Structure 1
Amino acid sequence: MKSTSIRLGADIGGTFTDVVLEKGGGVFSTKVLTTYDAPENAIINGMHQVCAQAGITPDRIGQIIHGTTLATNALIERRGAKTALITTQGFRDVIEMRTESRFEQYDLNLNLPDPLLPRQARFTVTERVNAMGEVMIPLDRADVEAVADRIAQARYDSVAVGLIHSYLNPAHEQMVRDVLTELLPDLSVSISAEVSPQMREYERFNTVVANAYIKPLMASYLGRLEDRLAAEGVGCRVFLMHSGGGITSLSNAAEFPVRLVESGPAGGAVFAAHIAGGYGIDKVLSFDMGGTTAKICLIKNQTPKTSRVFEVARTYRFKKGSGMPISIPVIDMVEIGAGGGSLAHVDSMRQIRVGPESAGSEPGPACYGRSGDKPAVTDADLVLGKLDPDTFAGGSIPLFPDQAKAVLDHHIAQELDTDAVGAAFGIAEVVDENMANAARVHAVENGEDLSEYTMIAFGGAAPLHAGRLCEKLGVDRLIVPPGAGVGSAIGFLRAPYSFEANRSVYMKLSDFDAKVIRDLLTELKREATGFVRTCDAQAEILSEFKVYMRYTGQGWEIPIDLAEDQAMTPDAATFERRFEEEYIKLFARPVAGMDIEITVWSVNATTRPERISPVEPVPAGQPAKPSGMRQIFDPASASFLEAQVIERAAITTGQRATGPAAVTEDETTIIIPSSREAICQPDGCIDVRAKGQGVWT
């Protein structure tokens, strides 16, 4: 019999699928290789493993929360449905023209990425709504029917509808959808007024196209997952993690799959925020490194930073501006192609480059012994002694050091006149510096000083690299929580039900209309709350209000949080004061004499977050007892050092470990550099600090 106190979290990554079962305060977890052809197989496999650990049968699971990279991978690999776009006459090429900005200013041979849909898949109708939402040219049903005939003849599976200014007046988009649904009932249809009702047609069109492109794929996958779970006797509801850091229902996820694009990384940020809340830490650098990518997120006051636009599938060395912009609520993070499976090579300048290509799980790094023939970061970590070949993934995946050395020697060492160890050292330093540089840039863009931050590391590969990353960034404190190797899946179980509704309605403070604002925010609150009610009909729902504001003439807005009384009893002076407060934080001073504009309004409905138990850190006690010793390469001295090997399960509260050391567990290994020392805190976190700072009292 199922129990709502037994919950399962499942995160499909590019290399591993992480599965976590929570039962009666206990957490059981496993990592299995992702099965690309049928991703649900890995979830079922992992579910049986954790159920066996917990001593239960799958039919007792009361809730499943799932996050996946399937949507992201489909966009990156261009393997979605056969999709068409219907737009306003004259705007057929918006998704190809982009914003005309150059993401690499001095590259004379700059190549813009191809649009998701070719020109022949983009159709137009004669209609026009102006910037005030007024109909200038009515839409003729016969025009839509003619386009529907062409779509039927070309056998499209999915259609995106994006008309000019539909975020203000969606009537024409709704009419197109109604006609298509009537004439082509098997066609999947997405309209931008529902997917992303925001100004800026390029971002809005691109978002609705992306939604339509992956909608049939995700609907098929979610249907197969439900069927497989039912066949295993699991009859509970399945929820999906969305990019904004909350949980949504299966039906909402199937209708708006573009909101799942960053679902896995979002779970990790929620996990880090939960840990930060326990320790009362207000400035956290979340570091999530898996098999394919590394994700870095700034968390202030136990709340991850959010955004309403992000990019996926960057094609130019992961450079900002070179990808597809997706305009949805999302946790703001920087993501680079640096994971355990990221492949290394020597370029024409005889420099080591790592990523963004990844070995994934098929074939995986060379050391997996699955026919991988190129060196990956995991191969380098193994040769440097960071990994034990006999205990990787709890012993379920044996590693082969000879195969790792062979590919390192062939592809890197011979090119650079060094040996396999030198090649591995170079790869590790390059990937660590890539991540450190990404963190520095992200911090600078947000006006933050990382030396004031605490790093929280999780993901299968992050604890292997986090200590060295802290050295490079000047971060003094690192926390590696229990279950770090499956952190995102645990984060799914900590996330609230939530949905963010937003709308673009342009207004200047000089034309402030309190009634229009109150009515708009009330409508958005009703819309967001309705979505959350589909997940939980009884829970208390909180509302969070946000507006995006800028000085007149500026090209982009900054987010301004409002208390509910400020939002529902709007006052121009309050809006101006809140804007100037946030503007000064970012740019040091306000601009006198300029009018202020509001462009986007947002309401996030969320259930009350899970209560976080405070942690009282303890001082260092006796040294932890090592289970053995092994040689681990120390990058600071560029040599192997004798290091303690300590089993994490054997460390008790207050026990300490002095670097160099390796703290091992089934899903990951924590490498403590020679410059650091660590202590086990009461909640099981390994708290790593710089030596000699007197911080343990």
Structure 2
Amino acid sequence: MTTSMNRIGVDIGGTFTDVALQYSGGLSTCKVLTNYSHPEQAILDGIKLAAEKAGIALNDIGQVIHGTTLVTNALIERRGAKLAFITTEGFRDVIEMRSENRFEQYDLNLSLPKPMVPRQDRLTLNERMGPNGEVLLPLDPAEVDEMVQTVLAGDYEAVAIGLMHSYANNAHEVQMAEALRAAAPELSISISSVISPQMRELPRFNTVIANAYVQPQVADYLGRLVARLTEEGLDAPVFMLHSGGGLISVETAAEQPVRLLESGPAGGAIFAADFARAHGLNSVLSFDMGGTTAKICLIEDGAPKTANTFEVARTYRFKKGSGMTVSTPVVEMVEIGAGGGSIASIDSLGRIQVGPRSAASEPGPACYQKGGTEPTVTDANLLLGRLDPDNFAGGAIPLSAANSDSAIAAKLADELGTSTEDAAFGVTEMVDENMANAARVHTVENGRDIEHFTMIGFGGGAPLHACRLCEKLGIDDLLIPPGAGVGSAIGFLKAPFSYEATRGLFQHLHQFDAQAVNAALQELENEARLFVEAGAKDAPKTSRLTAFMRYSGQGWEIPVSLPYKEFADADKAEILVAFEAAYQTLFGRIIDGLPIEITNWSLVVASVLPDVDRVTPHGAGKPAEELRSRSFYDAAQRKQVTAREIARSAMTPGAVAEGPAVIVENETTTIVTSAYRAIGQGDGSLLLRRKGDTA
């Protein structure tokens, strides 16, 4: 993997498109508003701006790394292909029956999300594989031919094939797919044994459906993007950041777009993990707040926590269980509709609510002066003095305090019978409390005590809110890295080339079959290395193995990290110890006497990144030079406070900004509340530490 060439990372968010260009002179960054109708245009505009600032020609850029919300947005907004789903007779309604979990227990009028494929488009084959791959009912070639004609007559743009137990034997899926490709080569076809070869038919079916649903759109978009880059003279290979936090080729992304579901947020987690390693932090809470959403992720021992399932398109205010569960490798995080563009409103009980609706970039918050009339978090921050209307996004977007005042007065303050300042405070306090609650739940679910963590805040909105969040959570230390406003895009540049291959292989631990496991792991390694070699042929590789295990009778598994090696039957004792340690960490106790099962295996092959340079901590030194005096609303004190405004460039190693203070830069603004002080660090980071602690 070449690191000396000029490389650019581009993250398309719901409001801004962030660009980070790494070149010999350092790092050039910028933010431009996302173009919803032509997202590739915002990418080009941002790349040109960053290259111009760096003094680099477009044809001198050697690599483009991209992350996009296109897949997530297409699933949420139901803007995908006309799709047929082919499954085993008797199982066409699995995706509609779901898990039968009532995610809102006391709602008598509970409305379940509609399945991605209507019932009339769910087609069945009279075939059956057994859980061990045995053929219980052969697939009749005549029925295959009949199904091909049905699909052709339906004028479908894409087909998803998910047959029972195809993770154990995919012969029938392959037979059906080959017949369709022979009859209609232009048809987009996804099979579950390639997209998600794991146990559990509901997430496996959902995953192959999601992949097929967005594949034509994503392939078209990526094709347009590569063509436009080439037209502009940027003829460099394009790689995509996948949800698991690694890079894959644009060709792989076009074939398996479901792997891009959380590509942008995953870049943020990689960004935070890099700084956690540099600062020697083993327990970190990553806080990424952009224009549309806020993401919170646990990072331990320098690596973000990952999972093999993810829920997308939740219909009940981001409530777990109300969305579509897909099984694809993902950096595990909690995501809520709390960004700078999140819209504030009054609910039926007269309370301020924030999100999940967002003003996004079109029309944007009221203060953007682009036609928006709804009050947003950005409007509230502007009225509370936390943003400079003349220096937002480096002055590229002038803000109108009058527009913000009008929006908050009309939609909030007048209805509540309060001042616009109090209404604005209510908006920011509500969004901060929503994020704090999400962080508490996320850490508790993972068996952690949040007050022992250090927060790393990034994204355009996080530095504005992170200090208040730390006050609510009892966190003493907060780190704001350099380039925080475009953190995800920078994270793309720090990501390894990686691929996670998965396979369902059910075994009782006491009957552990090492030979079968070793054969499956060899297949996983061959699959993963094939994809990684495409981008990092000569780089050293590392492998990470995870077994998904449970006590017999339990409904779900936990991930158990294991050494990647050739197993022997006697290694079941070692696997037992690893499982019990993982179970103890999550639940506080183990269960004696119950047999243990292994359901799925996961192997990640990744290129090895260079070691990070360790940062020497700097204690408090001399006060940083002040630009001017200004005021902002301190939530903890419930009043306006006089603060020092300090340029980020003045926060040299050891320089101190005693709170209350406002530290300004082009891409974001850091609010230091009265309870904290900021200390410049050697790598350009800001360490915000609670006063009274040793600096």
Q: TM-score, normalised by structure 2?
A: 0.99
SS of 1:614's equivalent in the other structure is coil
Once the two structures are superposed, residues 527-566 of structure 1 have per-residue CA deviations (whole angstroms, 9 ceiling, x without a partner) of 1111111112222111111101111111111111111237
Rounded to whole Å, the distance in 2 between the matches of 1:543 and 1:379 is: 47
Residues 541-690 of structure 1: matches in 2 within 5 Å?
Answer: 541-565=541-565, 567=567, 571-690=571-690
- The answer for the alignment partner of 1:112 in structure 2 is 112
Give a deviation string over 1:346-369, Cα, whole Å, max 9, x none.
011000000000000000000000
Given residue 606 of structure 2, which amino acid in structure 1 is its aligned partner?
Answer: T
Do the aligned partners of 1:341 and 1:364 also contact (CA within 8 Å) in 2?
yes
Please tell me the residue identity of whatever aligns with 1:375.
Answer: P
Q: Distance in 2 between matches of 1:15 and 1:106?
A: 35
Q: 3-state SS of the aligned residue for 2:251?
A: helix
Deviation at 1:592, TM superposition (A): 1.3
Distance 2:493 2:577 in 1: 38
Letter of the 1:384 partner, please give it.
Answer: L
**Cα pair 1:517 1:570 within 8 Å, conserved:** no
Say whether the 8 Å CA contact 1:190–1:212 is kept in structure 2: yes
Between 283-292 and 545-554, the greater mean CA deviation after superposition: 545-554
- CA–CA distance in structure 2, aligned partners of residues 64 and 5 of structure 1: 11
Given that 2:512 and 2:569 are in contact with CA atoms closer than 8 Å, whether structure 1 keeps it comes out as no
Q: Secondary structure at the match of 2:649?
A: helix
Q: Which amino acid is the alignment partner of residue 291 of structure 1?
A: G
Encode CA deviations 1:7-64: one digit per residue, 9 max, x unaligned: 0000000000001100125010000000011100001000000100110110000111
In the alignment, structure 1 residue 343 sits paired with structure 2 residue 365: no
SS class of match (1:641): strand
Deviates more, 1:433-442 or 1:643-652: 643-652
Residue aligned with 2:5, SS: strand
Q: Does 1:50 align with 2:53?
A: no
Amino acid at match of 1:392: F
**Alignment match, 1:391:** 391
Q: Deviations over 1:340-392 (max 9, x none)?
A: 00000001100000000000000000000011011010000000001000010
1:256-297 per-residue CA deviation (whole Å, 9 max, x = no partner) reads 000000000000000000000001100000000000000000
Which residue of structure 1 lines up, in the alignment, with residue 364 of structure 2?
364
AA matched with 1:225: L
| Residue aligning to 1:263 | 263
The amino acid across from 1:531 in the alignment is F
Q: What's the CA shift for 1:252?
A: 0.7
Tell me the alpha carbon deviations over residues 199-219 of structure 1, each in whole angstroms, 9 at most, x when there is no partner.
111110001000000100100
Q: The residue matched to 1:472 in structure 2 has which SS?
A: helix
* Cα distance change of structure 1 residues 569 and 225 upon mapping to structure 2, 3 Å threshold: farther
2:80 is aligned with what amino acid?
A: G
For residues 3 and 645 of structure 2, the distance between their equivalents in structure 1, rounded to whole angstroms, comes to 39
Counterpart of 2:64? Answer: 64
Query: Does residue 223 in structure 1 map to residue 223 in structure 2?
Result: yes
SS in 1 for 2:448: coil
- Which amino acid in 2 is paired with 1:391? N
Q: Over the residues paired in the alignment, what is the CA RMSD in angstroms?
A: 1.2
Contact 1:521-1:567 at 8 Å conserved across structures: no
Matches of 1:3 and 1:299 in 2, distance apart?
A: 25
**TM-superposition CA deviations, 1:151-182 (whole Å, max 9, x none):** 22221111100001001000100111100000
Q: Is the 8 A contact 2:518 2:566 kept in 1?
A: no
CA contact (8 A) 1:518 1:570 kept: no
Matched to 2:216, the amino acid is P
- The amino acid that maps onto 1:46 is G
3-state secondary structure, aligned to 1:565: coil
Q: Work out whether residues 346 and 412 of structure 1, in 8 Å CA contact, stay in contact via their aligned partners in 2.
A: yes
Shift of 1:94: 0.8
**Which amino acid in the other structure matches residue 534 of structure 1?**
A
SS of residue paired to 1:111 = coil
Paired residues of 2:65 and 2:240 also in contact (CA < 8 A): yes
Residues 180-210 of structure 1, C-alpha deviations (whole Å, 9 max, x = no match): 0000111000000000001111110001000
Q: Secondary structure at the match of 2:319?
A: coil
Q: How many Å apart are 1:568 and its aligned residue? A: 7.4
Looking at structure 1, the residues matched to 274 and 4 of structure 2 have their Cα atoms a distance apart, in angstroms, of: 21
Measure how far apart 1:588 and its partner are: 2.1
Structure 1 counterpart of 2:603, one-letter code: V
CA distance in structure 1 between the partners assigned to 2:568 and 2:625 by the alignment: 59
**Deviation readout 1:89-126 (Å, 9 max, x if unpaired):** 11111111101111111111111111111111111111
Contact 2:514 2:567 in 1 (8 A): no
Report the CA distance between 1:577 and its aligned residue.
Answer: 1.2
Shift of 1:570: 6.6
- Describe the SS at the equivalent of 1:571: helix
1:156 aligns with 2:156: yes
Query: 2-side partners of 1:215 and 1:194: how far apart?
Result: 14
Report the more deviating stretch, 310-319 or 534-543. Answer: 534-543
**Superposition pairs for residues 178-577 of structure 1, below 5 Å?**
178-565=178-565, 567=567, 571-577=571-577
- The farther-off stretch of 73-82 and 578-587 is 578-587
Q: Is the 1:377–1:427 Cα contact (8 Å) retained in structure 2?
A: yes
Q: Residues of 1 paired with 2:489 and 2:563: CA distance? A: 31
Cα-to-partner distance string for 1:631-676 (whole Å, 9 max, x where unaligned): 1001112111111111102221110001111100000000000110
What are the Cα deviations for residues 604-645 of structure 1, in whole angstroms up to 9, with x where unaligned? 000002321000011111101111111100111211111111
| Contact preservation (8 Å) 2:88, 2:124 | yes
Partner of 1:137: 137
CA distance in 1, matches of 2:512, 2:580: 17
Shift of 1:141: 2.2
Secondary structure in 1 matching 2:214: helix
CA distance in 1, matches of 2:570, 2:41: 51
Distance 1:127 1:246 in 2: 37
Structure 1 counterpart of 2:74: 74
Residues 568 and 240 of structure 1: CA distance in aligned 2, closer, same or farther (over 3 Å): farther
In 2, distance between residues paired with 1:452 and 1:358?
33
2:538 partner amino acid: Q
Residues 257 and 570 of structure 1: CA distance in aligned 2, closer, same or farther (over 3 Å): farther
Give the stretch that moved more between structures: 536-545 or 323-332.
536-545
Are the counterparts in 2 of residues 3 and 61 from structure 1 also a CA contact under 8 Å? no
Counterpart CA distance in 2 for 1:72 and 1:4 is 33
Alignment partner, residue 127 of structure 1: 127
Moved more, 207-216 or 565-574: 565-574
- Write the letter of the residue equivalent to 1:631: S
Structure 2 distance, partners of 1:367, 1:83, is 41
User: Using the alignment, how far apart are the partners of 1:362 and 1:661 within structure 2?
Assistant: 32
Query: Which structure 2 segments of 5+ residues have no match?
Result: none
What are structure 1's unaligned runs of at least 5 residues?
A: none
Confirm or deny: 8 A CA contact 2:549 2:598 kept in the other structure. yes
1:569 deviates by: 8.0
